[in-house]
Amino acid sequence: GAGVSQSPSNKVTEKGKDVELRCDPISGHTALYWYRQSLGQGLEFLIYFQGNSAPDKSGLPSDRFSAERTGGSVSTLTIQRTQQEDSAVYLCASSNSRGRNNEQFFGPGTRLTVL
């Protein structure tokens, strides 16, 4: 079946502009995660959605970052007033938390470059 998809695959923007990144999780997966991967760094947790529960936003680096998940499926990560340090690959993952195996399946990522 289809895996996690993300769009766009690449985004170049100017400092100060807002950007929206989209994630389509695997159908039926109740949990959705956003991570950020900077060059040479690990994957930094940003935000986590689980079903209809309030999201865990503890990883968001500043109030310029926000995310929503509509209808328990598609999610959008929004970065307002982008800064150069926001340049990174933004990865989305989903998992079926109802199952015993809670493997997180990652999307291909969106490479964001802030000029």
Partner 1 sequence: GENVEQHPSTLSVQEGDSAVIKCTYSDSASNYFPWYKQELGKRPQLIIDIRSNVGEKKDQRIAVTLNKTAKHFSLHITETQPEDSAVYFCAASNQAGTALIFGKGTTLSVSS
In this structure, which amino acid lies at residue 46?
L
- Segment (H or E) for 10: strand 10-13
| CA distances in angstroms from 14 to 71, 103, 111, 114, listed in the order given | 31, 36, 14, 5
Q: Cα dihedral sign for 20, 24, 28, 29? A: negative
- Residue number with CB closer to partner 1 (55 or 82): 55
How many CB atoms within 10 Å of residue 39?
A: 7
Q: Does 44 bind partner 1 (CB under 8 A)?
A: yes
Return the number of the residue (45 or 80) whose C-beta is nearest partner 1: 45
Residues with Cβ within 8 Å of 96's Cβ and at least 6 positions away in sequence, in order, are 26, 28, 29, 30, 31, 102
Q: Should residue 56 be labelled a site residue for partner 1 when binding is judged by CB under 8 A? A: yes
User: Which of 1, 27, 42, 52 contacts partner 1 by CB under 8 A?
Assistant: 42
Taking CB under 8 A as the binding criterion, the range among 19-27, 31-39, 71-79, 80-88 that sits at the site for partner 1 is 31-39
Q: Which is nearer to partner 1, 5 or 80 (CB)?
A: 5
Binding piece for partner 1, criterion CB under 8 A, among 9-17, 18-26, 51-59, 77-85: 51-59
- Residue numbers at the binding site for partner 1 (CB under 8 A): 31, 33, 35, 40-45, 48, 50, 56, 58-59, 91, 95, 97, 102-104, 106-109
